Amino acid sequence: MMRILMVCLGNICRSPLAEGILRHLAAQRQLNWEIDSAGTGNWHVGHAPDHRSIQVARLHGIDISGLRGRQFQAEDFDRFDRIYVMDLDNYRDVLRKSRTQADRDKVQLLLEHQQPVPDPWYDDALFEPVYQLIYNACERIVKG
């Protein structure tokens, strides 16, 4: 049993995609994992994912339309084993809420080699490449 939290800034573009993709891949492998997402900001609490994220996920057979935004909170360090952040701003903002070294040890960038998942908010053309980056990272996670 693994508990994984995906974190971005708004919890409407990147981290809902990451949650939906990892849920999909974990279900395929019949992994009984707990998977969630959150944003470091509070602007989109209670909101559905961005329509462009919903669309790119749907194109690949994944429905994320039922997800709703929430803000990352310190208690998430207790509720999850691993916390994947999309970029270094997210990393800094999540670590700011950490209380112990054990909290900090749970946090890592989703991509390898310190690469960020770019924020697609201002560029429609980024949603498909962002989907691919996140998908490949999630495959790596389920393969262990």
Residues numbered 13 to 52 that lie near ligand 4NP (CB under 6 A) are 13-14, 39, 43
Query: Residue 10, interface with ligand 4NP (CB under 6 A)?
Result: yes
Query: Residue 92, interface with ligand 4NP (CB under 6 A)?
Result: no
119 is catalytic: yes
123 is catalytic: no
Listing DSSP states for 42-72 in one string gives STTTTPPPPHHHHHHHHHTT---TT----B-
Segment lying near ligand 4NP (by CB under 6 A), choices 12-20, 58-66, 76-84, 103-111: 12-20
Estimate the crossing angle of helix 127-143 against helix 14-28, to 10 degrees: 40
Cα–Cα distances (Å) from 103 to 37, 40, 54, 79, 98, in that order, read 17, 16, 31, 11, 6
Positions annotated as catalytic residues are 8, 14, 119
Which residues contact ligand 4NP by CB under 6 A? Answer: 8-14, 39, 43, 119, 121
